[in-house]
Amino acid sequence: MDGILNIYKEKGFTSHDVVAVVRRTINQKKVGHTGTLDPDAEGVLPICVGKATKLADYIMNSGKTYEAEITLGAKTTTQDASGEIISRTDFVFDEDKIAQAVLSFKGSYMQLPPMYSAIKVNGKKLYELARKGQEVERKPRKVDIYEINIIEFLPPDKIKISVDCSKGTYIRALSEDIGDKIGCGAYMSALTRTRSGRFNVQNSIKLDKLKELCDNGNVMDKVLTMEESMADYKKVYILPKSDKLMHNGAKIYSYCFDKKSDDVAIGETVIGFDSSSNLNGIYKTEYDTDKKCIVIKPLTILL
């Protein structure tokens, strides 16, 4: 089995828990996730199986969509409901003021990563340091909020929002930042990831459903192929004379491209197929000054 399972992670499971359950259920050794979801969060968690584990980083780079409940008027140690409340602020639940603050985050902004995150500083994950009561200096990182909207006002102290954002955006940090913008503080009290790249909640399956599919012999119906999972990337097909070069991980020049290939530009990441239309790997396009043509160089070989 080489492909991706669109798993719906339920509350109480870590991402590693899901990997372990999937590994046992489908009896496969090579299984990996495509980006962590906190135990209290739920939603879409694509799981890579077999050779598709090499695609995890590319799938993780895609945008995400979340629905979050935010509690206003308080802050916690973890920026979510799992932490201890460290401050409370009285405020007036003014829908216009709240909406103005929420919508102001559309676009790019510099976000300070939470201490309770998997980011490494000097080789140690921040959450490991946070659990020891240590706090280290973090540098703000640019994140992109493509869309942000209020789904529902829930007075006296809650709102529900939807966020379409770039990889690396922390909704816990965004929640607190929204509270600071309003002037009352806030923390994230619930989170559901509804989309990760091309994987969405409508097509996801829970772990008990996965077991049922395995028992009935229908699990392959829910496995997205490696090619399907990379459908947003341009495709390069090569001529038979270059198959051996491609299979050996060599770079391929544009005069070896089949005419059915997509037009590619310099600096693009593309997927490469041999002359039998087998997906061989992920490539980066460059310009060869000696041969005066585009060349694709392998980043990740899949075969």
Catalytic sites, residue numbers: 38
Check if the beta carbon of residue 165 is closer than 8 Å to that of residue 197.
no
Q: Say which residues have a Cβ less than 8 Å from residue 215's Cβ, sequence separation at least 6.
A: none
Amino acid letter, 194: T
Phi first, then psi, for residue 242 (nearest 5°) are: -105, 5
DSSP state of 73: S
Q: Say which residues have a Cβ less than 8 Å from residue 10's Cβ, sequence separation at least 6.
A: 42, 206, 207
Check if the beta carbon of residue 280 is closer than 8 Å to that of residue 273.
yes
Taking CA atoms, 81 is separated from 38, 44, 57, 118, 296, in Å, by 11, 20, 29, 18, 47
DSSP 233-290: SEEEEB-GGGHHHHHTT--EEGGGB-TTSPP--TT-EEEEE-TT--EEEEEEEEEETT
Taking CA atoms, 145 is separated from 17, 31, 99, 108, 115, in Å, by 29, 30, 15, 6, 21
Residues 53 and 175: their CA atoms lie apart, in Å, by: 32
DSSP state of 205: B
Residues 119 and 217: their CA atoms lie apart, in Å, by: 39
